Amino acid sequence: MAHADQKYRAEELWRLSAVEAARAVREGRVSARDLVESSLDRIDRHDDWVRGFITVAAGPARTAADAADRALRAGHASGALHGVPVAIKDTTLTQGIRTTFGSPIYADNVPEVDDLCVARLKAAGAIVIGKTNMPEFAFGPRSVNRLRGPTATPYDAESSAGGSSGGSAAAVAIGMVPLAHGTDFGGSVRTPASFCGIIGLRPTPGRIPNVPKGLAWDAMATHGILARSAGDAGLMLSVMAGRDDRDPVSIAQPGWSDDGQAIGRPRRLAASIDLGVAPIAAEVAEAFRAAVEEVASVSSVEWAAPDCSGGQEAFETLRAASVLHAHRGHLHTHREQLTDQARWNMERGEGISAAQMLAAEQARSRIYARFIEFFERFEFLLLPSASVLPFPNTQEEVLEIDGKPLRNPIDYLSITYLVSLVGMPCLSIPCGWVRGLPFGLQIVGPPLSEARLLGFARLLERKCGFVHQWPAAI
């Protein structure tokens, strides 16, 4: 390893943060090829039991790394992530790398183009290592499909990494990559981040443009980020953010960046265990209270929440209609090939009327207004990042909590999907342990507050010790 500084032993390059790795490559102390080989070695050592990847693109990654090293020797660095390995959730198109959507229907699908978010990562010098595991078409509480899985949290080989960005979260948590892409509709970044003890960022819809996009003005689902620190998450967001006219809800905020250093002490915080409506496991509620007590040593916290009544019904209606619209062709053409979970999610939209859709949008608008009013009093809202702890990977659905039946298979996501409903930026930060399993604190801010959210997360990392911890199996 000719380019490696003594500080970075070859066998431990996977421990570097994205910020450290990018700096080391720019300064010539580590090569991009070194970082790629380290990631591939970690995958080779651990992915047989973590099952975080559907496709590992070793050849293309090595080719890209060698090109990055040649460019740097010629004095040309691509950008802020030059030479840094990243993983991409398999919902997202990657040029020349298989993209399956977690379904055998697309087992041989190799796109000719990148989604915009991938193109921006590559333009910043990032190197795609592979495509991460997920439930079929991102529907389900576990990251498992007929091609791969189930993905395990690196803290317990028998427990789930969550869904639907579970492969990305697990890959970051165990050091296969320092950064990974995810998507979040109802909690698909935040839940796996909680289950895997890392940072999971869902930005304001439009902060990361969504191109291509079937419904141009749709703003419910977002691209998201999985990282081991707030600084790394901010670095990744800084290269993915920015207006693109093909996405009409994308945000024009020239010069927005996150410097990875700023910390912020909020003036006034609110906390709620359940937003008044969400089912939450008793052990999660107890651990959440303890985490809030830690946060209260940093800033004043009041137990309060916006009124979310009617939000569950509104989200379920809008989500069901959106899912059916996106997957009607799969339902009609490949119904028998779909998993039961995917089929259930698609069929939920059948029979929804225009009147029901508009009523749901009206309820959504009312709750949005309540959140905006709430954030005039409080800077951030603290919530659990998940309603339950990582559950056994043999459990196909979350249908009850503490013995109490849930209304349906997505009810357990209420604590995250109510935030999605109103489009507030939020992140999950690891904040504690129960029975040896990690859980996360969800921090919600007003629209466009990502920089302040990340600054507050850095403060919690430093003052409260809310940081990623390496799994024992490393």
Question: Among residues 17, 38, 188, 194, which one is catalytic?
Answer: 188
Residues 6+ apart with CB under 8 A from 340: none
Report residue 258's pLDDT band, with 50, 70 and 90 as the boundaries.
confident
- Which DSSP category does 56 fall into? E
Annotated catalytic, 188?
yes
- Residues 204 and 158 sit within 8 Å (Cβ to Cβ): no
Annotated catalytic, 89?
yes
Helix, strand, coil shares, percent, the chain, to 5: 40, 15, 45
Phi, psi of 130 (to 5 degrees): 170, -175
Question: What was the pLDDT predicted at 286?
Answer: 98
Mean pLDDT for all residues in the chain: 95
| Cα angle, residue 437 at apex, residues 434 and 440 outer, rounded to 5° | 80
Annotated catalytic, 39?
no
Mean pLDDT of 178-189: 98
Q: Would the pTM count as exceeding 0.95? A: yes
pLDDT tens-place string over residues 46-95? 999 999 999 999 999 999 999 999 999 999 999 999 999 999 999 999 99
Question: What was the pLDDT predicted at 181?
Answer: 98
End-to-end alpha-carbon separation of the chain, Å?
22
189 vs 179: CA distance, rounded Å: 13
Question: Among residues 17, 78, 160, 164, which one is catalytic?
Answer: 164
Percent of the chain at pLDDT above 70?
97
Domain ranges of the chain: 10-304+365-464
Whether the predicted pLDDT of 279 surpasses 60 = yes
Question: What was the pLDDT predicted at 118?
Answer: 98
187 vs 383: CA distance, rounded Å: 13
Phi, psi of 58 (to 5 degrees): -60, -45
326 vs 108: CA distance, rounded Å: 21
Q: Token pair of 205, please? A: 């819809």
163 vs 144: CA distance, rounded Å: 9
Q: Which of 148, 196, 157 is nearest to 173 (CA)?
A: 196
Question: What was the pLDDT predicted at 8?
Answer: 63
Question: Among residues 17, 31, 89, 165, which one is catalytic?
Answer: 89
Q: Token pair of 7, please? A: 């500080």
What are the beta bridge partners of residue 56?
130
- Residues 240 and 460 sit within 8 Å (Cβ to Cβ): no
The structural architecture, per CATH, of the domain 10-304+365-464 is: Alpha-Beta Complex (3.90)
- Residues 173 and 468 sit within 8 Å (Cβ to Cβ): yes
Taking CA atoms, 317 is separated from 190, 386, 400, in Å, by 22, 21, 21
Mean pLDDT of 412-429: 98
- Residues 98 and 68 sit within 8 Å (Cβ to Cβ): no
Taking CA atoms, 127 is separated from 4, 37, 198, 203, 209, in Å, by 18, 12, 21, 23, 20
